[in-house]
Amino acid sequence: MKKIAILGSTGSIGTQTLDVCRRSGIEVYSAAAASNTRLLAEQAREFGMKKVCIFNSDKYNEMKTLLADTDTSVVSGMEGLCELASDKITDLVVNSVVGMLGLLPTLTAIESGHDVALANKETLVTGGQLVMPAAKKHGVKIYPIDSEHSAIFQCLQGNKASQLRSIILTASGGPFFGKNKDELKNVTAEQALSHPNWSMGSKITIDSATMMNKGLELIEAKWLFGVDTEQINIIIHRQSVIHSAVEYNDGAVIAQLGIPDMRIPISYALMYPDRPDSGLKRLSLTDYGTLTFEKPDYDTFDCLRACVNAAKEGGDRPCIANGINEIAVRMFLDGKIPFLRIGELVEKGVCTLPVFDVSSYDGVCAADSAAREFAQKEVIG
Ligand code: MG
């Protein structure tokens, strides 16, 4: 049986990954959390984990105390995350941390020869140019957990990637689809946090409301499937039943459908190519009756437009867009900036910041820092 490490085990993807492990009997060797010591300790006990990492080093002693009567060892910080990612004994590393800080653990897992089940899209957005060649060099697989990318990956099975013409990347449109900028001026964090179809963490839910999430996914898809920006068509599909589709040279389009439940793509990433019974609710197409498709609104959703431009330009621009967005989302959640300011900041930074060389990890970090600093300065002055 597979042994896995879960980086980000107390978040939305992490807890759903543990659900899949509970059912399938996959052994969770180790897990990491940002700062939720209580839940991480509970998980460590339930799964008999050998090692845990609490990312927030201030919580290290508290974590040690909570697990004092067990034989689970405790590590912390980025060093701890990378230790979990590189442990010889694990077969697969699930990366579901939030943000660009997932990049180094991903690279570490790859260099240690471990396959990666990737939910942390910022890894590829900021460092795809490092991750994809490293995966090739070390002969490791990257299994997408993001539902759209899992769908595309599933649609590619048994076909020739070289005969792929285009990708249809579906988007739910988030809670604000159909609204114009005037109507979005005063939306609150609470309104932005209520997603119509998916239950997710706060960062990705805001990204979904601004459509930044779809922009990041476009860049993620470019790296994972080796296609150009122009080959990816984003369409709004409000029901989130078709998780994405691919078009082949002969005109055939293959889509992957299912209920919107992340445990399906998680299972596929963990057990590829097996598809054991998930115990989940079945898709009933007649319950939906109608599936709808519309064009995205690039005028209202600045983040989406900025990401498409960043994807076309390539180089450091995706990393710049991501860094600004990470700070802007935090500031919006903290009530420091209005909703529309997120997109304004991302677009301005992508257009005006100087170009960085992102051909090394340090280069990516320099671009990321400049982007974060830009966002802070724009707002605070
Ligand atoms: Mg997604």
Predicted local confidence at residue 198, as pLDDT: 76
Q: For the whole model, what pTM was predicted?
A: 0.96
Q: Does domain 149-380 have CATH number 3.40.50.720?
A: no
For residue 170, report the distance from its CA to the centre of ligand 1, in Å.
9
Predicted local confidence at residue 196, as pLDDT: 77
Domain with CATH 3.40.50.720 in the chain: 3-144
Q: How confident is the model at residue 352 (pLDDT cuts 50, 70, 90)?
A: very high
For residue 232, report the distance from its CA to the centre of ligand 1, in Å.
15
Predicted local confidence at residue 206, as pLDDT: 95
How many whole angstroms separate alpha carbon 114 and alpha carbon 177? 39
For residue 148, report the distance from its CA to the centre of ligand 1, in Å.
5
Q: How far is CA 278 from the centre of its chain?
A: 22
Omega cis (within 30) before 273: yes
Domain with CATH 1.10.1740.10 in the chain: 149-380
Compute the average pLDDT of residues 105-125: 97
What rounded mean pLDDT belongs to the chain? Answer: 97
Q: How confident is the model at residue 334 (pLDDT cuts 50, 70, 90)?
A: very high
How many whole angstroms separate alpha carbon 310 and alpha carbon 215? 9
For residue 347, report the distance from its CA to the centre of ligand 1, in Å.
22
pLDDT at 373 over 90: yes
pLDDT, tens digit, 9 for 90 and up, residues 41-73:
999 999 999 999 999 999 999 999 999 999 999
Residues with CB under 5 A from ligand 1 (ion): 146-148
Predicted local confidence at residue 127, as pLDDT: 98
Predicted local confidence at residue 381, as pLDDT: 82
For residue 213, report the distance from its CA to the centre of ligand 1, in Å.
7
Compute the average pLDDT of residues 361-370: 98
Predicted local confidence at residue 325, as pLDDT: 97
Q: How confident is the model at residue 201 (pLDDT cuts 50, 70, 90)?
A: confident
Compute the average pLDDT of residues 274-283: 97
Q: How confident is the model at residue 199 (pLDDT cuts 50, 70, 90)?
A: confident
Predicted local confidence at residue 255, as pLDDT: 98
How many whole angstroms separate alpha carbon 222 and alpha carbon 232? 8
For residue 4, report the distance from its CA to the centre of ligand 1, in Å.
22
Residues 6+ apart with CB under 8 A from 83: 51, 53, 75
- At the fourth CATH level, the homologous superfamily of domain 3-144 is NAD(P)-binding Rossmann-like Domain (3.40.50.720)
E strands, the chain, where? Answer: 3-7, 27-33, 51-54, 73-76, 92-95, 115-118, 142-144, 164-171, 232-236, 242-248, 253-257
